[in-house]
Each structure stands twice: as structure tokens, then as C-alpha cells.
Structure 1
């Protein structure tokens, strides 16, 4: 593990992504339990990428959940349903990731479903310029075969996850334990950041994971 400041972590990740050829899109998955704040890291990458001449757009997997009738079929606090049934993988692939594949259109939908109102967001299509970067944050994203050029996992120890988890979401803890067993994100991600203390992250090895 290499200790690193939060600011330097953002800069090094931005450098890694910006080094990609400029004639292709770069899809970046920023994965982690909500307590690790993958959304915050993804947000913080936008401006450093812009400064480096790379247009960046943000998408959250939380805006690509399935309808409540499907998502909550087994109740509101079923950890296996949360693991298997909440994310609309097909919609995320179709509307965001595949259009940014080589030969794609570059047109994507930034959000598909509002889980609060349980209605489609009807968000208009956006176009990411060639060479732009798509920053997708979410939880339990790895192990699904989602197409991406880079995956970043914010890893929390079990103790830190329990300590920092929102009490209202404690029912999800068995799903994160299952994720560790079945996917082992700390081994499968391209870049792993130990995030037990958000003020003092650490990198697991050098930043060489970009394919």
C-alpha cells in the first residue's frame, strides 16, 4: 500500500486517464460502498480531466435502478435482491456504456430512472466528444462484465464499512460481504484505493491498470 493524499490521488488518476489516446472514449467505473463515497471521487475527477483537455461527463448507477415492482419484489431490505436485482444492467449498457464503445455514436442518456418517484427521468440524450471520459460511480459494479477501460475500487475493511455505514442501510452489509467473497473487487479492479480513512487513502500498487 502506498499512502497518498486525497488531492494527489485525484491528480494521479486524472493523469492516468488523460494519457489514453484521444481518438477513443474512456469509460471509468468508480466502484465502492456508499460509505466510501465513489460519487465524490468521480465528481472530483471532472475538472482535472478538463484541464488536461479531456471532456468528462458524470453518470451514477443509482440513476439506473430497476422499477420498484422488480427491485423490491422481496421487500425493501433484502440484501440478495439488492445484490442481484436492483441495478438495471441492460439499461446501463444500452444507454450509456455501449454508445461509448469503439464505433459507437457517443450519444448517451445520463439518467434513466428516478427511484424516489419510481418514474422514468426522461433525461435528454447528451453527446460526449470523441476522446471524452465517462465517469460512472456506483456500488457492486464489478463482476458484471460492464464494458469499461478502467475500474477503480474504493475498498473498505469490514470494520470501517460497519463503522461508516448509514444505519438505515445496515441491512445491505451482507451484500457487501457477498461481493467480497464472489467478486473480490480488491483483486479484480484495475486500481484499488484503501479508503478506511477518507483523509488518508492508500493505493494498492502503482497506477498501471488502464487497458
Structure 2
């Protein structure tokens, strides 16, 4: 089904075309990073990938939080502690990223933890064919230990990031594509030589 050619859809089609040029086949993982608004953007990006005929899956790093007790074991959660300890990257790697990349009939899990209930989720395994796209969104996806996991990454530059993340990870320098989505109906590509 073709989506109506709104400015948002047209902008997302350009991004999909660029990602497909970078990674034309096989299993492709696209990260949508930013301090806010990543879920809606990633949802719509996934719809546009599907429109192009690609088997597409969605995940969010927010579904890989650590339990609250672990995050606050040494005291209240500060912005730096949140950056360092909020998410369970080893589970993300083990149940989603590694199995998704394997292809074939290997199952993967797009969520592992319910932050609202502060409890693990029941495992729900998915599979896909050899050519598929995973669109994952959330905070801190361009941190040094994750940035090599993505075939392409999109940074929403309009959302303010936590200072510790900006200083340590420099996400703007490592993102494949920069987008200003302050007007969600008309996202605009940001050239690398222009300030956000």
C-alpha cells in the first residue's frame, strides 16, 4: 500500500533510499537516536520501509531497561548514572542484536523489560527472512559500545541530549543522518556543516 506523499513521508522515503544504498540487502539495523520523539519517528520510518516491500521489525531501547532497584542501588538516579546504568545492553545484544544479525530461522526478542511495571517481560520470539530491517529507537544509541552495531543511524538533533552523553559519545559526529524533527510533519535533513 502506498502512503500519501506528505512532506513527512517524502522525507522518510529519502532516508529509506539512503539506508538501502548503504546496506542493499541482508539483515539491516537502523538506530533512531535522540533525547525525545524517537519512537514516533522510528514507527513511521518502519512503515515506510514496509511500504518499500521490506520485512521490517521495531524495537525500542526503552524495553531493555534495568530494574529500578539496580539503577538506584547506590543512591538516587542522577543524569550521569542514568546514562551509565539505565539500560541492559548485554540483554539487548544477546536477545535482539546478535540473533537478528544471524538471519535464517534464529529467533530474536524485540523487548525484554517493562519499565512501567518494573518487571521482565515474557519472552516473545520473532523470526524473519534473510532480508529484513530492524528499526530501533531510544536514547544513547550512539554511545561508543553500540555505534558499530548499526548499519545506519539517524540522530534527531532538535531534542536536547544529556550533557554527559554529548560530551562522552559525541552522537552528532557519528550519526549517519542528521534530522531536525522539531516540526514532526516536516522533518528536515541537517547538513553536517550546519549547527543544530
After TM superposition, give the deviation of residue 102 of structure 1 in Å: 4.9
| Number of residue pairs aligned between Structure 1 and Structure 2 | 184
Match of 1:198 among 179, 184, 191: 184
For residues 5-154 of structure 1, the aligned pairs below 5 Å read 5-19=7-21, 20-22=23-25, 24-34=26-36, 37-102=37-102, 106-146=106-146, 147-154=149-156
Report SS of the residue matched to 2:162: helix
Structure 1 residues 75 and 6: alpha-carbon distance in aligned structure 2, compared to 1, 3 A threshold:
farther
Instruction: Check whether the contact 2:143–2:169 (CA below 8 A) recurs between aligned residues.
Output: yes
Instruction: Check whether the contact 1:98–1:104 (CA below 8 A) recurs between aligned residues.
Output: no
C-alpha separation in 2, matches of 1:128 and 1:135: 14
After TM superposition, give the deviation of residue 200 of structure 1 in Å: 4.2
C-alpha separation in 2, matches of 1:17 and 1:61: 20
Instruction: Check whether the contact 1:18–1:52 (CA below 8 A) recurs between aligned residues.
Output: no
TM-score (normalised: structure 1): 0.78
After TM superposition, give the deviation of residue 197 of structure 1 in Å: 3.7
Instruction: Check whether the contact 1:42–1:137 (CA below 8 A) recurs between aligned residues.
Output: yes
Unaligned stretches of 5+ in structure 1? 162-174, 207-211
Report SS of the residue matched to 2:73: coil
Structure 1 residues 76 and 114: alpha-carbon distance in aligned structure 2, compared to 1, 3 A threshold:
farther
C-alpha separation in 1, matches of 2:188 and 2:44: 17
C-alpha separation in 1, matches of 2:103 and 2:45: 25
Unaligned stretches of 5+ in structure 2? 1-6
Instruction: Check whether the contact 2:28–2:133 (CA below 8 A) recurs between aligned residues.
Output: yes
C-alpha separation in 2, matches of 1:195 and 1:48: 17
2:3 maps to which residue? none
For residues 163-182 of structure 1, the aligned pairs below 5 Å read 176-182=162-168
C-alpha separation in 1, matches of 2:101 and 2:135: 14
Over 6 Å off, 4+ runs:
none
After TM superposition, give the deviation of residue 145 of structure 1 in Å: 2.7
C-alpha separation in 2, matches of 1:66 and 1:148: 22
Report SS of the residue matched to 2:135: strand
The root-mean-square deviation of aligned C-alpha atoms, in Å, is: 2.3
C-alpha separation in 1, matches of 2:100 and 2:17: 20
Instruction: Check whether the contact 2:31–2:152 (CA below 8 A) recurs between aligned residues.
Output: yes
After TM superposition, give the deviation of residue 76 of structure 1 in Å: 4.8
